Amino acid sequence: MKRSAALPSPMCKALAVALASTFVTTAIAQNVPSGQPNPKPQPSWMKKGGPLPSPAPPPPPPDPAAEAEAQAKADARKHFEQGLALFDAGSMEAALPEFLTSLSIYPTRAAKKNAALCLRRLNRFDEAFDMNEALLAFPGVTEEEKQVALREIAELRPLVGDLVIEGVPDGATISIDGKPRGTTPLPGAMHVPVGERTVRIFKAGFETLEARLQVVGGKTARLPAVLARLELAGWLQVDEASGYSMDVLLDGAAVGKTPWRGLVASGDHLVSLRGDKRLGTQPARVEVRPSLITPILLIAEELPSVLRVEAKTKDADISVDGVRLGRGAWEGPVRAGSHRIEITANGFVREERRVDLEAGKREAVAVALEPIPPPSGFWADKRLFGELGATFALAPTFGGSLDGSCTGPCAASLGLGGGGMLRFGLEIRRKWLFGVEVGGLFVRRSFTDRPDEDVHVFGNIAANKGLTDDVISLGGAHVGASVARTVGERFPVTFRLGAGGFFGSVQDDRSGQYNTTARDVPDPTSATGTRLKASTPYTVDRVTETQAALGVYIAPEIRAGMRISDKLDVALSVSALVLLIPEPPSWVPEQGYVQASTDGQGKYDSDTLTGTSILVVSPGLVATYRF
């Protein structure tokens, strides 16, 4: 039986190959057959005792800048391709952040073009306008791309206006509808969407200016803005709990980095933080008190979503998660998850909505409030109202015996004074008003050098003659009811008739110049036993009496005004207050004795201080408020 040869092992094979190679090399080197060409010279290192070869030079080190650029291009392309996929799927809200992220890493023309398309389809026309302008200035833009961008700008122009802010000092931060737009001095006009915009201007040491203006497409709106220096101010200290250095946004304007302290106007302010990538805080309200340091500690967190809220109702307040953010519109980063949006405005039904936001998504919410429906039943077309008025009072005369005795050298003044009125009632269909009212009146009138008032001296002495001065003051309250009829809407005219009771008093401050009576007086030294005592002048400085004046009043009134708002009217009025006093107040002699110089004591005659009716004409200003 034939034995099979064993196969050599792999190790034996390798050893045999090595020995054969050495043998052949040596044979070639020592026994070259004659007549054959010499082999190539051996390298010196192969010769016995030759030097070893030098090591190969190391490869050049990598360029960090080139590597960083290559990595940036790769990251930018990744976000760009993700944006393209979302764009093709019709998800503009999700595609836009990817294109913007690509631009922030490594700007390209393609990313700008696609971002501009997304912005336009999302109705963010001003940002799309800016993006197309930036594309025109991008290096290497082609002629075809220029034409596309110019066509987009022309189509967007009717939807975008320009805003120029004038008179603002350098270093002031500008925000429009709650979004920061830059710091003065601005490079030029800002592009803003058409419609009513809310502009806020902040600069440390000055009062924050907030203005609302209307922007028209293709037109330039100018806002003259003069910042007033702070008078009532306090210090605001803003810190981040973990010690991060983050941008501080005060009322939507970037004012510095944490930790930050600044002098701001006293009152409520909106504070938030912005950091790298998605780090930040949702807005928080803080009240700054005058001359005090108000600290606020905020905790930074990831805010992966963006929320925009726009109120379609004028002057509507926007609140998110219980924090009032301003009026008109607001946009900013928020936490992912559920958020409560609340929109309120005077005269409209409060609207509350809940939105659920996914991380990396932007949600836009537009809310139009419904007017409060008119009341039904008894209160249909009926509203409570209140009125407050102030008047200037004119009284030609008070009547009474004083007016009748003012003859000869006597001069009587016009009665002057003022009054006020408070009225509450019910308005029906904006035409009829029924109310109850309370008011006050004060009028003063004077008489000078009245000749027919004598001082009657006690005893058998004739009355002292002279000239008397009187200052008559009429004052009191009137309480009653009224009915009125209003004509007109924008400029209403009202006719009113009021009546009620008058509860007042009349005061007479009386003084004068008099002469004692010349008469014979006993004189033991005289031959006749009497002598003539001459008349001498004397003065009564002041004698005052106050008497009640009770009666009723009738008050017709006409007014013409202007309707400031649905709730407020302001009007000029003229009313005639007719006081009817059945028992006019009189001077009571026994209550006002006077010293008649050397003649002893005396008193004045009884005089009626007013008549039974007094007319007071009252022009004034009246404000009506409807509840």
pLDDT tens-place string over residues 284-303:
999 999 889 999 999 999 99
pLDDT tens-place string over residues 57-96:
777 777 777 888 888 889 999 999 999 999 998 888 888 8
Angle between helical axes of 109-121 and 125-136 (0-180°, round to 10): 160
pLDDT of 43: 53
Residue 583 — pLDDT band, cuts 50, 70, 90? very high
pLDDT of 41: 54
pLDDT of 376: 63
DSSP one-letter string for 579-621: EE-SS--B--GGG-EEE-GGG-EEEPPP-BSS-SEEEEEEEEE
Rg of the Cα atoms in the chain: 50
Report the CATH number of the 382-456+467-509+544-585+609-626 domain. 2.40.160.20
User: Which residues is 549 bridged to in the sheet?
Assistant: 504
pLDDT at 265 over 90: no
Q: What mean pLDDT do residues 336-353 have?
A: 92
Residue 377 — pLDDT band, cuts 50, 70, 90? low
Residue 623 — pLDDT band, cuts 50, 70, 90? very high
**CATH class given for the domain over 71-157:** mainly alpha
**Type of residue found at 151:** R
What's the CA gap between 600 and 456, in Å, rounded?
Answer: 10
pLDDT of 380: 66
The domains of the chain are located at 71-157, 382-456+467-509+544-585+609-626
Share of the chain above pLDDT 70, in %: 90
pLDDT of 52: 59
Q: Do 71-157 and 382-456+467-509+544-585+609-626 agree at the fold level?
A: no
Residue 524 — pLDDT band, cuts 50, 70, 90? confident
pLDDT tens-place string over residues 208-251:
888 888 899 989 999 888 888 877 889 999 999 999 999 999 88
Q: What mean pLDDT do residues 397-407 have?
A: 88
pLDDT of 54: 66
- Backbone CA torsion sign across 110, 115, 118, 123: negative
pLDDT of 319: 93
pLDDT of 49: 52
pLDDT at 281 over 80: yes
Residue 53 — pLDDT band, cuts 50, 70, 90? low
Q: What mean pLDDT do residues 197-203 have?
A: 87
Q: Return the SS3 of 311.
A: strand
CA distances from residue 56 to 44, 47, 49, 61 in whole angstroms, order as listed: 17, 21, 21, 15
